[in-house]
Amino acid sequence: MTSMRPETSAAIDLVWQALALAEAGTGAREITSKGARDIVTATDVAVVDLIRARIESLWAYPVVGEERGGEVPEDGSPYW
């Protein structure tokens, strides 16, 4: 069996956790508008917050995402 990089294992684990949040519909009725044709639910934000907290606690990598923004490191260091 091939072993995975820790980042890959974390990503797979986070997908399952995010799926559980989405399937539970947590915050799905809490909708805000980000523009004329773009909405965000509390579920969207909860998933991003879950990923951000986990990745930053494990590796201190910055997380760049649609709902909470973030900056890509200029020095080419890792980010999510």
What average pLDDT does range 24-37 have in this prediction?
79
CA angle 53, 51, 14 (to 5 degrees): 125
At 73 the pLDDT is 95
Higher pLDDT, 13 or 37: 13
pTM: 0.76
What average pLDDT does range 23-37 have in this prediction?
80
